């Protein structure tokens, strides 16, 4: 056999006639022949660029094509590593290797297939952004039938959406969640996002905010259970420390996934789920469970669960399914089968399964009122789930065998049920006096514990309703005149349970913080009570601490009183809050009516109906101006009655007298002895306990 080094020396071979078969054999193993002889069998290759095509124009027998890539040229063989698709391996060549030919063919075919996939995937993504048809897109991707390349679809979908509006980003996130496991295997998602992170340094050229956008996509994928949380740490281990990919991972981890209630925040960041309320989702969950119990169709039930697109709220499905199993004993087996199958197939992850059981453990005492054997039934369900392998019982909260203090608990539970009925009736009627009358009947001993329970129940029910009911709850809380310690205890209970409430109400931080701030503005609570609540019940990293932090921020804002009043509409209804000038006019009219012979109870009612206890200093100021102008003390008597019943607080008294001091100069134009009268009434107010002894008759305070 001729050595390969011998074959690559064209000058030693001379010019060979085209009909020489021996030379053809020698040339058949070369990657770029210098001449264009016919094949060993005398057949012309049909491929473009083949040697036989050029042979028809050759007169010298040499290849006169220009050299490419710096190798070859006229009379040369080109580079050793050059390849040419037009040359086929000759099976009759002594150096022929069949594996080499198969490898070459497979490599070329694979490259062509991947290029074809890339083109089709790009078209599918563009069409999806145009038509927003998730199911059609899923079908088209299935028809490609190239599952090993689906990582590219993940990468292409995300990268194309990142350069578009929030609508397309949300569409991309929804599509990924839909395709997961059904169309695209989890490893393909993992690889697709890995490649996106690796290419962040290149993508930043076209997408300057790549760190934030891709970080949010990764966080959304974790929330939607598309990527495991471990993805973040594993990516950090294999990325260069100064790469953009590291910044992306850190943004996803610290900027999004570490925030309280991050799942809800991330879900809504691009406008998703805006039309989907918690009540809507709960209703759909209840309906799908009822339909499943009747039909037993697991496939349809799983499809409905996926269609909810709230993987972070799947614990609600678990909780409601377990309650249904306890209420409908014959359906227990069917329900447990569904939970087992959804857990094994990853439709509901194990974390959500455990959270659903934990939530039921927390409420099992209340559930016992409707299902006396609820504790025993729940223990049985836990044992069955653990024995079937889809629940880790050791990770659950302890389920004690008996409840402490049964007598006290039963009394409190009975009051809770009656309080709930009273509050719901109030939300329908708006009759505050009826609520007060009912509470006097149900809590005749004015138990501090029951007062606190009512406060908690009132705000809990209001937080799950619309702004109208939230405003009504705040107005009622102001009107009840509970001892401040009882109200503090109620808020302590609310803040302590904020972590659990967040499972049902994702915006509990905003709602509860606003109720706290409103209570301070309404002077139901004093500002220092926030510190007291925090010291009693809040851990540093709890949701309760976030509630108190937000409440303080709301109260520090400029004109916080007016803003907090208007947050839910004001006036105990859904209409916008009154303007300050309207309030001043109403105050002037009610004082005028009382001064002309009105009833004190009617005056109380009018002041309460203003719904602005933080503005009662205006009542004090206007009343005192009238007293000083007319030099009779009927309105002084009204202020005395308001102070005695707690309708006007010492703080509002001080503000009212302070504002009166600021207006003395103008008032003196109509009442020359205004200064002397003011000093006289300040001393009387101090003697009556309205003002602090340190209050000066020359003191000037800031406007509200």
Q: Based on the domain organization, do 418 and 561 belong to the same domain?
A: yes
What mean pLDDT value characterizes the chain?
Answer: 78
Decide which of 395, 419, 436 is a domain's last residue: 395
pLDDT per position as a tens digit, 598-632: 788 888 888 888 767 767 888 999 999 999 998 88
Q: Based on the domain organization, do 141 and 254 belong to the same domain?
A: yes
Assess whether pLDDT exceeds 60 at residue 677.
yes
pLDDT at 117: 92
Assess whether pLDDT exceeds 50 at residue 429.
yes
Q: Considering the domain boundaries, does residue 491 fall inside one?
A: yes
CB distance 245 to 198 below 8 Å: yes
Q: Based on the domain organization, do 465 and 588 belong to the same domain?
A: no
3-state secondary structure of 73: coil
Please give the Cα distance from 485 to 525 (Å, whole number): 9
Please give the Cα distance from 454 to 486 (Å, whole number): 10
Q: Based on the domain organization, do 180 and 238 belong to the same domain?
A: yes
Q: Based on the domain organization, do 186 and 243 belong to the same domain?
A: yes
How large is the greatest C-alpha to C-alpha distance in the chain, in angstroms?
A: 136
- Which range, of 59-68, 310-319, 560-569, 666-675, averages the lowest pLDDT? 59-68
Query: What phi and psi, each to the nearest 5 degrees, are found at residue 71?
Result: -130, 150
Please give the Cα distance from 555 to 674 (Å, whole number): 35
Average pLDDT over residues 125-145: 89
pLDDT at 161: 94
Q: Based on the domain organization, do 520 and 373 belong to the same domain?
A: no
Q: Considering the domain boundaries, does residue 460 fall inside one?
A: yes
pLDDT at 177: 84
The encoded tokens of residue 319 equal 């909780």
Q: Considering the domain boundaries, does residue 100 fall inside one?
A: no
Q: Considering the domain boundaries, does residue 106 fall inside one?
A: no
Please give the Cα distance from 231 to 228 (Å, whole number): 6
Compute CA distances 556 → 177, 371, 552, 561, 658, whole Å: 41, 47, 6, 10, 21
pLDDT per position as a tens digit, 350-381: 888 888 888 888 788 778 877 888 888 998 89
Compute CA distances 538 → 473, 526, 530, whole Å: 24, 18, 11
pLDDT at 510: 86
pLDDT per position as a tens digit, 253-273: 888 888 766 777 787 788 765
Q: Based on the domain organization, do 388 and 418 belong to the same domain?
A: no
CB distance 281 to 320 below 8 Å: no
Q: Considering the domain boundaries, does residue 641 fall inside one?
A: yes
More confident residue, 158 or 697: 158
Query: Per the structure, how many domains does the chain have?
Result: 5
- Which range, of 543-547, 560-564, 621-625, averages the lowest pLDDT? 560-564
Assess whether pLDDT exceeds 90 at residue 160.
yes
Report the residue count for the chain. 704
Compute the half-sphere exposure of residue 84: CA atoms within 13 Å on the CB side of its CA: 20
Q: Based on the domain organization, do 60 and 147 belong to the same domain?
A: no
The 10 Å Cβ neighbour count of residue 636 is 16
CB distance 288 to 339 below 8 Å: no
Assess whether pLDDT exceeds 80 at residue 535.
no
Residue % of the chain over a pLDDT of 90? 21
Q: Based on the domain organization, do 263 and 291 belong to the same domain?
A: no
Domain of 324 in residue numbering reads as 278-395
pLDDT at 520: 85
DSSP assignments along 655-696, one per residue? HHHHHHHHTHHHHTTT-TTHHHHHHHHHHHHHHHTSS-TT--
CB distance 177 to 267 below 8 Å: no
More confident residue, 401 or 519: 519
Q: Considering the domain boundaries, does residue 39 fall inside one?
A: yes
Instruction: Look up the CATH number of the domain holding residue 256.
Output: 1.25.40.180
Q: Based on the domain organization, do 386 and 440 belong to the same domain?
A: no
Query: For the whole model, what pTM was predicted?
Result: 0.38
Decide which of 68, 87, 106 is a domain's last residue: 87
Q: For 335-344, which contacts have Cβ atoms below 8 Å and span 24 or more sequence positions?
A: 335/289, 335/292, 335/293, 336/381, 336/384, 336/385, 336/388, 337/298, 338/292, 338/298, 338/301, 339/385, 339/390, 340/385, 340/388, 340/390, 341/298, 341/302, 342/302, 342/305, 343/390, 343/391, 344/390
Name the band, by pLDDT with cuts 50, 70 and 90, for residue 446: low
Name the band, by pLDDT with cuts 50, 70 and 90, for residue 580: low
Assess whether pLDDT exceeds 90 at residue 336.
yes
What end-to-end distance do the CA atoms of the chain give, in Å?
106
Q: Considering the domain boundaries, does residue 571 fall inside one?
A: no
Name the band, by pLDDT with cuts 50, 70 and 90, for residue 573: very low
Name the band, by pLDDT with cuts 50, 70 and 90, for residue 162: very high
Q: Based on the domain organization, do 144 and 233 belong to the same domain?
A: yes
Residues of 52-65 as b/e, b for ≥16 C-beta within 10 angstroms? beebeeeeebbbee
- Which range, of 19-23, 88-92, 417-421, 660-664, averages the lowest pLDDT? 19-23
Decide which of 544, 566, 588 is a domain's last residue: 566
Average pLDDT over residues 438-446: 76
Assess whether pLDDT exceeds 80 at residue 644.
yes
- Which range, of 155-169, 331-345, 379-393, 531-545, averages the lowest pLDDT? 531-545
- Which range, of 55-64, 106-115, 463-472, averages the lowest pLDDT? 55-64
Q: Considering the domain boundaries, does residue 434 fall inside one?
A: yes
Assess whether pLDDT exceeds 50 at residue 71.
no
Q: Based on the domain organization, do 495 and 546 belong to the same domain?
A: yes
Assess whether pLDDT exceeds 80 at residue 404.
no
Average pLDDT over residues 490-497: 87
pLDDT at 125: 94
Name the band, by pLDDT with cuts 50, 70 and 90, for residue 276: low
pLDDT per position as a tens digit, 6-15: 444 444 344 4
Q: What residue has token string 């050229």?
A: 205
The closest alpha carbon to 537, from 490, 605, 569, belongs to 490
């Amino acid at each position: 056999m001729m050595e390969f080094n011998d074959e690559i020396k064209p000058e030693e071979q001379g010019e060979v006639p085209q009909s020489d078969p021996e030379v053809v054999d020698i040339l058949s193993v070369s990657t770029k022949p210098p001449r264009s002889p016919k094949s060993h069998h005398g057949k012309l290759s049909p491929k473009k660029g083949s040697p036989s095509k050029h042979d028809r124009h050759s007169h010298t027998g040499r290849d006169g094509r220009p050299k490419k890539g710096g190798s070859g040229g006229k009379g040369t063989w080109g580079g050793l590593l050059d390849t040419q698709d037009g040359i086929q391996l000759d099976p009759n060549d002594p150096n022929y290797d069949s594996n080499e030919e198969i490898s070459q063919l497979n490599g070329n075919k694979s490259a062509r297939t991947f290029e074809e996939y890339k083109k089709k995937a790009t078209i599918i993504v563009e069409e999806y952004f145009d038509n927003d048809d998730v199911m059609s897109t899923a079908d088209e991707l299935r028809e490609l039938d190239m599952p090993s390349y689906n990582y590219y679809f993940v990468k292409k979908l995300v990268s194309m959406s990142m350069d578009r509006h929030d609508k397309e980003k949300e569409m991309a996130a929804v599509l990924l969640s839909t395709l997961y496991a059904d169309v695209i295997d989890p490893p393909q998602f993992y690889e697709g996002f890995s490649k996106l992170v690796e290419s962040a340094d290149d993508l930043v050229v076209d997408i300057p905010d790549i760190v934030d956008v891709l970080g949010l996509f990764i966080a959304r994928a974790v929330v939607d259970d598309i990527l495991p949380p471990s993805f973040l740490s594993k990516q950090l281990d294999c990325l260069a420390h100064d790469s953009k990919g590291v910044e992306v991972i850190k943004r996803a981890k610290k900027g999004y996934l570490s925030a309280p209630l991050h799942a809800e925040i991330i879900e809504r960041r691009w406008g998703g789920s805006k039309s989907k309320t918690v009540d809507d989702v709960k209703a759909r969950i209840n309906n799908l469970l009822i339909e499943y119990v009747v039909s037993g169709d697991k496939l349809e039930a799983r499809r409905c669960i996926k269609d909810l697109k709230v993987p972070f709220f799947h614990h609600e499905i678990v909780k409601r399914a377990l309650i249904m199993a306890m209420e409908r004993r014959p359906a227990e087996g069917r329900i447990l089968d569904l939970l087992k199958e959804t857990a094994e197939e990853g439709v509901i992850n194990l974390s959500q399964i455990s959270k659903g059981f934990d939530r039921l453990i927390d409420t099992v005492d209340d559930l016992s009122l409707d299902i006396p054997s609820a504790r025993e039934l729940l223990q049985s369900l836990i044992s069955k789930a653990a024995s079937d392998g889809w629940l880790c019982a050791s990770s659950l909260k302890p389920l004690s065998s008996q409840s402490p203090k049964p007598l006290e608990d039963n009394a409190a539970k009975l009051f809770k049920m009656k309080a709930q009925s009273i509050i719901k009736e109030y939300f329908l009627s708006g009759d505050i006096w009826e609520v007060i009358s009912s509470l006097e009947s149900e809590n005749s001993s004015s138990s501090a514990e029951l007062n606190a329970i009512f406060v908690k129940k009132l705000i809990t029910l209001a937080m799950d309703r619309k702004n109208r009911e939230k405003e009504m709850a705040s107005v009622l809380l102001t009107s009840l005149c509970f001892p401040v310690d009882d109200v503090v205890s109620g808020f302590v209970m609310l803040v302590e349970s904020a972590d659990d409430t967040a499972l049902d109400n994702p915006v509990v931080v905003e709602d509860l913080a606003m109720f706290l701030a409103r209570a301070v503005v309404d002077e139901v609570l004093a500002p220092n009570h926030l510190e007291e609540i925090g010291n009693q019940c809040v851990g540093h990293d709890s949701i309760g601490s976030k509630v108190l932090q937000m409440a303080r921020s709301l109260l520090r804002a400029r004109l916080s009183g007016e803003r907090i009043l208007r947050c839910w509409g004001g006036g105990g209804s859904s209409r916008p809050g009154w303007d300050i000038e309207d309030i001043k006019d109403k105050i002037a009219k009610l004082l005028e009516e009382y001064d002309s012979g009105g009833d004190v109870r009617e005056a109380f009612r009018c002041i309460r109906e203003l719904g602005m206890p933080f503005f009662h200093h205006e009542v004090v100021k206007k009343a005192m101006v009238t007293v000083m102008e007319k030099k009779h003390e009927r309105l002084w008597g009204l202020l005395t009655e308001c102070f005695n019943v707690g309708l006007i607080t010492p703080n509002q008294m001080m503000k009212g007298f302070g504002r009166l001091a600021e207006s003395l100069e103008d008032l003196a134009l109509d009442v020359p002895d205004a200064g002397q009268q003011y000093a006289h009434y300040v001393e009387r107010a101090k003697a009556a306990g309205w003002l602090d002894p340190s209050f000066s008759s020359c003191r000037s305070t800031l406007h509200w």
